[in-house]
Structure 1
Amino acid sequence: MLASFPEFDGGLGFILGLPRSEQILRPEAQSNLDFLLDGAGALFRNCSEREGGRMADGPTSSGSGHTHALKSPTECQNAQKRFRARQKERMTCLEREVAEKKATFEQLAQENLLLRARATILEKVVNCRDEQLSIVQAFEERCRASPDAQSCFGTGSSNTVVNGTDAAHESFRKMKKEQVIPQYKAFLAEVSKYLLHCQYPCSDPTNPIVQQVTACVQRMGYILKHLVLLNPSLMRQLLLLNMETMQPGAAVESHWDSVVASLQLGAEQRADIMAVLELYYGLLGKVYDERKLIRAGLAQGVGTLESSATTFVARNDLAAEMELMEQLHANLAKEHSAHTLLNCFFMGKVLLPAQFAKVAVYSYPFFPDCLAVALAVARQENQTRGGGSGGMPGSARVPPRGGSGSAASGSGSGSLDSHHQHSH
């Protein structure tokens, strides 16, 4: 049928519409037009037969000297299958590459979200630390300016303060639990009355009841904030006390679970608590690792402190003992710093005023324990994810604590703390 066309010379010039002088077989044209259909619908392929790297010669219908043998339908079908297989393999490769890049993008996006959340947490923690430093620095500046250093650290009758702020700091440092507990109970009675009439979520700043709750929380928060920083020993006593019986006691985990349930925390609040808890345990892990080395050094020096009259402490040994005690004191200060950061963040940056009030009310007869509440949140999160209670962040790194170990507490492992207390 093709021979009936006068312009067809057996090459691709006819199909491309080229002049007769340019009607030669072009490799790129042949690669683009692999298959042709004849009038009857039969599938064939123009394949230039090459012998020894050159075109095979032979007569053609137009006498051009080039020959194009037609392959059989089976060979054409096989070629078509190979072509489709190559295309399918290429598509599979591209799809796999796209899937890998998509997974990488999602992973990087998740890491970016985590880093943003961590940056937000760190900004809040830095704000907490700045606030704490301002309180402590004001106290220390007054001490340096005082003609009598004992007015800051002594208990004698010479303790006299002129400035009003200095007087407040001094009063916080001297406070006893008998002074704090009545104020705290009065706060509970007042704020409970307002909470009964406060509709959830009790966060509308224009609501008079919310304003009353906020005012109560600010007054008590001011007291607790200064006690944590200026009188940590009192905070330790309060956290280990049952305020109903006025006897030492510690609440069980289920008590703090009930406290958390009353708060109705949002997803963002829970995420913040989990993030700061992980940061807290990261700091505390380093503190306890350092403390292990100090304990090992103290254990080696026990023999130098024997009470035998024939045993004398060498000057070098005594210097080493004193250096270890200074290191222990600094180590305990680091632990206390981590506790105060958790306390400030939890009470000042995560909870709304109404939630702060609920923590206080539902914790009674025990004092609010920020670490215990945060661990209760972590337990609930792990149970929700199916991880049980064993997956809390840092739980494997931190040794058992004596007492409830609040965020305001300066206590760590009990034996070391008692050793530290006896050393003073």
Structure 2
Amino acid sequence: MDNHAWQPGGLPGAPLSVAAHMPPQTAQGGIHAAEDYLDMDAALHNYLTSIWDSPTPTGTGFTGDNANSAATPLASPGTEAPAKMSAPGIGHAVQSGGETQVAGLGGLNASGQTRGPAGGQAGAHFAFTFQAESGSDGKRDAGERAAQGGGSGGEMTSKSSESGTNGTAEGRQKKRRGGGEAEAPAGKKELTQEKNRIAQKQFRERQKVKMNGLQRQIEELQASLESMQQANSALQSQNGILHKVLAMRDERIKMLQEAAKYISENDSTGKQVSDVAVTLSELHIGSVVRLTAEKLKTMQAEEIKQYWMEYVTEISAVLVDANTNPQAEERVGKLVNELFMLMMRFAALNPVLMMWSKQSYSSDDEEVRKWLAVVPHLGLSKDQIAEIVAIRSMLLDKLKRVLDERSVLTAAIQPSLASSMACEKLHLEYIKTNEAVIQLKENLRSEHTALLDFVSAMLRKILTPIQVARLMVQSYPTKPDILAVASAVQQWQN
């Protein structure tokens, strides 16, 4: 016979613990036991599940259980219990070896085998073993419980089994739930941290892209601002140059008017006009030299060169102390101013002799290279360089127009050189040639005036007296080629 208890629900059988051998019970008692068993199905299922997972718990027992409190075996109505029944039915207690055992759902037959509720194979047989309590109180309590019958004993046994089983199962379930709840927050925390890291990384990347865009916008705005500032500076410089050119033009017109007035009065009355005279007082301290307009008009080139060399020699001597001595710097300014007035008056009254300065609209490369080595030592500022480059460009444009006009005039004069010598045709050619020559002379005067205006702007409006003095010393014994100096400045800037 199989010694494993049967379990409902297809669960594997567990070893059957038999507390005591009981005799076979009647059919009526088996029916009552089956009905009780059906009522306790759910509790038994939980109990059997718990005892399969762990050893059968041993309780403290019921108080007062002993052999004297055993109830009468169950029997069908009108019949007597078998004489050989040695153990009670469901809910009976049996004392064995000082221990009280409670058996339910059937008993043991005479041969000691387990008998089921309906006389068949044993199923769901279970037993509790309790320590017997000593004393009369224990016996009395056991007798009272045994008197309640097999049904009440089985109900009590099932309730205790259900409570113990449920307690054990619920404890394990709570323990498992507690572990899951402990693990769930940890996993959720790690997932939240990972999401936060990803979000922070994406935020930093967006901020980086945004900052790069703002940086590019700032750079573009700065470049645009610098370009506008440069354009504004160029316009202001050009405006200043135009004002200076206009002032020089007015000065030049005034000088020509004075010279023309002197010539007309000198031709008619022979009187001298003191307004165009030049007073030289700084060359020789304590000595004053007065050069009238007539003297300047009749002065030869060698005489003006002599004045030039004397002034430059004095300037070079004073220029040594000009950087440390304010009085020397002031005297350099006065010497440069007197020499400039002398040269400009002489050029206005004697334009032909003024050409000894080698002033021309096209400087050769050798002259430019000479001044290219001097320009870095002049101490020019950025504004001065810009003004020099601008005024040089204006001069070259004007000279180009003058030369284009001169080419046309020369072409108009050329046919009259091989003219006929007969009749009135000679008179017509004379009139045409004379008109062309007058226009050519005006063209030459325009070229000369443009050069004088350029020199005046460079020496009086742009360069300082100290810078002009350095140019004069570097070009000694001749005059400096101002156009070559401007070309050297333009190349040095590039």
TM-score (norm 2): 0.48
- For the pair 1:111 / 2:205, whether they are aligned, the reply is no
Q: Does 1:232 align with 2:351?
A: yes
- Which residue of the partner structure matches residue 295 of structure 2? 171
Aligned to 1:246: none
Q: Secondary structure at the match of 1:367?
A: coil
What value does the CA root-mean-square deviation take over the aligned residues?
4.1
Q: What do residues 12-61 of structure 1 show as CA deviations (whole Å, max 9, x unaligned)?
A: xxxxxxxxxxxxxxxxxxxxxxxxxx975768xxxxxxxxxxxxxxxxxx
Q: How far apart are the structure 1 equivalents of 2:370 and 2:208?
A: 62
Q: Structure 1 pair 379/172, CA: closer, same or farther in 2 (3 Å)?
A: same
Cα distance in 1 for residues equivalent to 2:422 and 2:356? 41
- What secondary structure does 1:368 align onto? coil
* Aligned-pair identity (%): 28
Change (3 A) 1:134 1:331: same
Contact 2:297–2:346 (Cα < 8 Å) also in 1: yes
Compute the displacement of 1:95 (Å).
5.6
CA displacement at 1:298 relative to structure 2: 3.2
Judging changes above 3 Å, is the alpha-carbon distance between structure 1 residues 375 and 136 closer, same or farther for their aligned structure 2 residues? same
CA contact (8 A) 2:389 2:489 kept: no
Distance across 1 between alignment mates of 2:350 and 2:447: 15
Q: Are 1:256 and 2:256 an aligned pair?
A: no
- 1:109 is displaced (CA, Å) by 1.2
**Shift in CA distance, 312/271, structure 1 to aligned 2, threshold 3 Å:** farther
Instruction: Give distance in 2, aligned partners of 1:82 and 1:273.
Output: 54
Code of the residue aligned with 1:337 in structure 2: it is T
Higher relative contact order structure (alpha carbons within 8 Å, sequence separation ≥ 6): 1
Distance 1:316 1:284, change over 3 A: farther
Distance change >3 Å, CA 159–CA 351, structure 1 → 2: farther
CA–CA distance in 2 between the matches of 1:210 and 1:100? 47
8 Å contact kept, 1:284–1:338: no
* Corresponding letter in the other structure for 2:235: L
Partners of 2:240 and 2:469 in 1: CA distance: 25
Cα distance change, pair 161–281 in 1 and its aligned pair in 2 (3 A): farther
- The Cα shift of 1:231 comes to 2.1
Q: CA 1:191/1:93 → structure 2, altered by over 3 Å: closer, same or farther? A: closer
Deviations 1:333-362 (A, max 9, x none): 332222112211222223333333332222
- Choose which of 247, 266, 284 in structure 2 pairs with 1:127: 247
Which residue, 428, 436, 447 being the options, matches 1:335?
A: 447
Indicate conservation of the 8 Å contact 2:259/2:348, yes or no: no
Give per-residue Cα distances to partners, 1:195-237, cap 9 Å, x unaligned.
Answer: 3xx34636x54x3x33333332232222112123332212103
1:304 to partner: Cα distance:
3.3
Q: 1:39 to 1:251 in 2, by over 3 A?
A: closer
Number of aligned pairs? 289
Q: Deviations 1:168-195 (Å, cap 9, x if unpaired)?
A: 2332222211321222222233333323
Q: How far is 1:314 from its partner? A: 6.8
Q: CA deviation at 1:365?
A: 2.7
The answer to whether the aligner puts 1:219 opposite 2:341 as a matched pair is: no
Q: How does 1:5-404 map to 2 (within 5 A)?
A: 97-143=217-263, 146=265, 151=267, 160-166=270-276, 168-195=292-319, 198-199=320-321, 201=323, 205=326, 207=327, 209-239=328-358, 252-260=367-375, 264-268=377-381, 271-296=383-408, 298-299=410-411, 302-310=414-422, 313=425, 319-382=431-494
Is contact 1:214–1:354 with CA below 8 Å preserved after alignment?
yes
In 2, the alpha carbon distance for the partners of 1:201 and 1:42 equals 79
Kept in 1, the 8 Å contact 2:406–2:443? The answer is no
**1:285 to partner: Cα distance:** 2.1
Q: Judging changes above 3 Å, is the alpha-carbon distance between structure 1 residues 94 and 174 closer, same or farther for their aligned structure 2 residues? A: same
Structure having the higher Rg: 2
Q: Which consecutive unaligned segments of at least 5 residues does structure 1 have?
A: 1-37, 44-72, 152-157, 241-249, 383-424
